Amino acid sequence: MQMSYFHFYKTALRRELLMALRRLSEVANPLMFFVLVVALFPLGIGPDPKQLAQFAPGILWIVALLASLLATDGVFQSDYQDGSLEQMLISPMPLTLTVLAKVTTHWLLTGLPLTLISPLMALLLQLPTEGMIALMASLAIGTGVLSLLGAIGAGLTVGLKRGGVLVSLLILPLYIPVLIFGSGAVQAAVQGFAYQSHLAVLGGFLCIAVALAPFAISAGVRISVEN
């Protein structure tokens, strides 16, 4: 019996999540990184609330971006090593769906927890409460874009022995617009301006990325596996 694409996507997503939950300590790394690094800033900069609040949007966004990047490297690694990626490549089911399930998992395990814990870390950095909603909304949308973009780099470099630094070099330039609009949204909200336009731009990025990135990721994975 044939399987519908939607059902296949759900199956793939369930498999990815199941595997992730069975190695939770590894999966929790980006979140730990986020918490620890943000917690260091008040110690490094000094406890002056005004100064901290001024830097808070930038700090939160930069650390969230790096945390997301940290987990990006491994998106395809184990599947490449044990031959699962080969099977996905020659499957009659589209590779775009399989990689989309992987990216979704990456977001559910990095972007989403980061978003949920961000108000707590924002308090630590004395971010004014007006900025909270903008922070959470921009992180929720923005990390989605980061996951999609990051997977392009991960797919392209999965065949290389030491792809880690290369992923960062390839992907960071693409991350920059997301960072600018993400922290911009929070800054605008803190200063009492409308931040919805920033979010709208981020939403636009997300739409474009969801529509196009799976094809770019698939192409990257194919290039990595096929030679």
- Please give the residue ranges that form the binding site for other proteins (CB under 8 A): 1-3, 8, 11-12, 15, 18-19, 22-23, 78, 81-84, 86-93, 222-223, 225-227
Count of other CB atoms within 10 angstroms of residue 20: 15
Shortest separation between residue 106's beta carbon and other proteins, angstroms: 16
Q: Which CB, 13 or 149, lies closer to other proteins?
A: 13
Beta carbons of 13 and 105 less than 8 angstroms apart: yes
Q: Which CB, 51 or 91, lies closer to other proteins?
A: 91
**For helices 196-226 and 132-157, what crossing angle results, to 10°?**
20
Shortest separation between residue 166's beta carbon and other proteins, angstroms: 20
Give residue 112's Cα distance to chain centre.
9
Count of other CB atoms within 10 angstroms of residue 86: 13
Shortest separation between residue 67's beta carbon and other proteins, angstroms: 23
Shortest separation between residue 221's beta carbon and other proteins, angstroms: 12
Q: Which CB, 88 or 134, lies closer to other proteins?
A: 88
CA distance 51 to 42: 10
Q: Which CB, 51 or 78, lies closer to other proteins?
A: 78
Task: Please report which helix (H) or strand (E) contains residue 47, including its range.
Answer: none
**Strand, helix or coil at 2?**
coil
